[in-house]
Amino acid sequence: MLFLAMAAALLASILLTPLVIKLAFRIGAVDRPNYRKVHASVMPRIGGLAIFGAFLIGYAVLLPKDEHAVGILIGAVIIIVMGFLDDMLEITAKAKLAGQLAAAIVVVVWGGLQIEVINLPFIGEFDFGYLSIPITIIWIIGITNAINLIDGLDGLAAGVSTIALITIAVMAMIMGNVFVVATASILAASSLGFLFYNFHPAKIFMGDTGSLFLGFMISVLALLGFKNVAVVSLIIPVIILGIPISDTFFAIVRRIRTKQPIMAPDKSHLHHCLLRSGFSHRQTVLVIYALAILFGVAAVLFSQATVWGAILLIVVMLIAIELFVEVIGLAGTNYRPLLNLVRMIGK
């Protein structure tokens, strides 16, 4: 039955997207080129409606059950409405944050989904207590915006999200969480269908309608799948979402170093750096896909490793990420502490 739901979502996404393209041009929901944009022509940008519609169709076929399902769906609707308004009217950052906060509160407070306990190696369980609600809300808003920030090239956010969702589904299958397997798989199929029109050269952008919806759902599904996992529970979804989280983290580092506002837009995200390194548009997207797959594989290995093996894997990953960041200039062209250390040792 799951495969039928996935097939329905995939087919619905393929059929709905051309209709959304026509709708976008008719109502003026288009993205016009500017100095920060890579594209050079006017593009429809409410593709997230097709992803959301396809997801609802696939979800209706299977109707996976969970105590948090209603809260998640209500939160998703809030996110979709807020993203659509932004794509149409370009609402303020504060208004967008308010919408994300409302969606997160619905899931966390009304729906009851919270990070209550994490398991720390050598220490044991750590109970967040009253902090569980704000920490969970911060997680949801943070991941939602992380996916939004990487939506800068044709097919990038949709592809990375699809890879993350497939990884979450695989991990949930290992852990026996049927609801997360079903929901993540249906959403991955919806996103994959949209990629037929969104991969370079794109015919439509997902816009905030899509990137915020995918980010919201990924953040929630990650919590549902891994909140009770042994050995540092939250590290697994952090690894799965390594690309958007790393890009967001080093964007903050970059802006602090250059004394720019943290929320200020720039052209130094991961995809911008790879483009400046000489990769073509399509090659850049494929390189980031490959990195996302590596993070997914690392997450699976981490979940099966011993405590010491998991610690070693994390250390190796952190060193590799830092070297990669310094080589491509993700935190700034003159940010090279590890490379400078290596040169000093080499002398």
State how far the alpha carbon of 128 is from the alpha carbons of 13, 140, 171, 204, in Å. Answer: 40, 16, 24, 42
Long-range pairs of 114-119 with CB within 8 A, sequence gap ≥ 24: 115/139, 115/223, 115/227, 115/233, 115/234, 116/227, 117/227, 117/228, 117/233, 118/232, 118/233, 118/234, 119/229, 119/230, 119/231, 119/232, 119/233
Whole-prediction pTM: 0.88
Predicted local distance difference test score (pLDDT) of residue 231: 41
- pLDDT-based confidence at residue 346 (cuts at 50, 70, 90): low
Alpha carbon distance 170, 185 (integer Å): 9
347 pLDDT above the threshold of 70: no
What b/e readout covers 167-177, taking b as 16+ CB neighbours within 10 angstroms? bbbbbbeeeeb
Residue keyed to tokens 């097939």: 7
- pLDDT-based confidence at residue 124 (cuts at 50, 70, 90): low
Alpha carbon distance 274, 280 (integer Å): 8
Alpha carbon distance 338, 326 (integer Å): 8
Question: What pLDDT, in 10s, does the model give residues 229-269?
Answer: 444 456 777 888 888 888 888 888 887 877 777 666 667 77
- pLDDT-based confidence at residue 128 (cuts at 50, 70, 90): confident
277 pLDDT above the threshold of 70: yes
Q: Which residues contact 159 (CB under 8 A, 6 or more apart)?
A: 195, 199, 285, 288, 289, 292
- The overall average pLDDT reported for the chain is 85
Predicted local distance difference test score (pLDDT) of residue 146: 86
Least confident of 28-37, 138-147, 179-188, 207-216: 28-37
Long-range pairs of 251-255 with CB within 8 A, sequence gap ≥ 24: 251/149, 253/331, 253/332, 253/335, 254/330, 254/331, 254/332, 254/335
State how far the alpha carbon of 202 is from the alpha carbons of 11, 40, 147, 148, 212, in Å. Answer: 19, 12, 18, 17, 19
Least confident of 97-111, 132-146, 263-277, 296-310: 263-277
Q: Which residues contact 105 (CB under 8 A, 6 or more apart)?
A: 137
Q: Is 214 exposed, middle or buried (0-12, 13-18, 19+ CB in 10 A)?
A: buried
Question: What pLDDT, in 10s, does the model give residues 159-185?
Answer: 999 999 999 999 888 888 899 999 999
Predicted local distance difference test score (pLDDT) of residue 229: 46
Alpha carbon distance 347, 345 (integer Å): 5
The whole-number average pLDDT for the span 304-319 is 84
Angle 242-257/307-328 helices, nearest 10 degrees?
A: 50
Minimal CA–CA distance to 325: which of 99, 334, 223? 334
Domain boundaries, position 223? 2-346
What is the tally of structural domains in the chain?
1
Instruction: Give bridge partners of residue 30 from the DSSP assignment.
Output: 44
33 pLDDT above the threshold of 70: no
Phi and psi torsions of 28, nearest 5°: 80, 20
Helices assigned H by DSSP within 66-206? 69-89, 93-105, 132-149, 156-175, 178-198
- pLDDT-based confidence at residue 194 (cuts at 50, 70, 90): very high
